[in-house]
A and B are shown apart, each in its own frame.
Chain A
Amino acid sequence: DTGVSQDPRHKITKRGQNVTFRCDPISEHNRLYWYRQTLGQGPEFLTYFQNEAQLEKSRLLSDRFSAERPKGSFSTLEIQRTEQGDSAMYLCASSLGQASYNEQFFGPGTRLTVL
């Protein structure tokens, strides 16, 4: 078990470009979460998957954001037409079970900088 991995670790892009991040959860974990963390703040929930089904999305997740988990394994988070306000650390976490109180294991994050 190598834990949750995220790729890339850093991404610098220009405003208006599209970016895609990948998250590989712990293999047997059925839940996968995406969070956004800005400097000096705690992680903010974006969305989560139960297997391949996206069950909930935060109002923070604008129409420019889309997430998928096509086979219930890895997940991708795409941001279209990036804005400077999208600059943040994007965290992925996975857990085993049916409830959010089960321990979430976090990846190292992808730091996005939008110029």
Chain B
Amino acid sequence: AQSVTQPDIHITVSEGASLELRCNYSYGATPYLFWYVQSPGQGLQLLLKYFSGDTLVQGIKGFEAEFKRSQSSFNLRKPSVHWSDAAEYFCAVGDGYGQNFVFGPGTRLSVLP
């Protein structure tokens, strides 16, 4: 069974600074990887996903993520953070066929003005 770890529980950055949120997964085959964002009172929204091909994936809201098989990582990045990016971010891994879609524990992002 797959698993996901997000080593950082809470990250604080200043507005305009760059951001990297870490995600490590465990899965025996080629994983399907996702990043979701959850803002207070709102449902989870998909930021980006990786299935195959180019290991650098572009998403919505200026986010990107890079799949590194050798490190079992799928870190999320943004070059310049906006105050509206403050939210909870979840990395998830799926096997693509059944229900085995596993979320990490999340990283809460705070943005300082």
Contacts and interface: CB of A to CB of B under 8 A. Distances in A.
A85 interface: no
Interface residues of B, number: 27
B42 interface: yes
B102 interface: yes
B90 A42 contact: yes
Contacts, number: 66
B90 A108 contact: no
Interface in A28-45: 33, 35, 40-45
B103 A100 contact: no
Contacts of A44: 103
Contacts of A48: 99
A71 B83 CA distance: 43
A72 interface: no
Main secondary structure, interface of A, reads loop
Interface string A87-115: 00001010000011101111111000000
Contacts of B97: 99-100
Given A40-B105, A43-B103, A103-B49, A108 B96 contact: no
Interface of A: 3-4, 33, 35, 40-45, 47-48, 55-56, 58, 91, 93, 99-101, 103-109
10 contacts: A4-B43, A35-B103, A43-B103, A44-B103, A45-B101, A100-B95, A100-B98, A101-B51, A104-B46, A107-B43
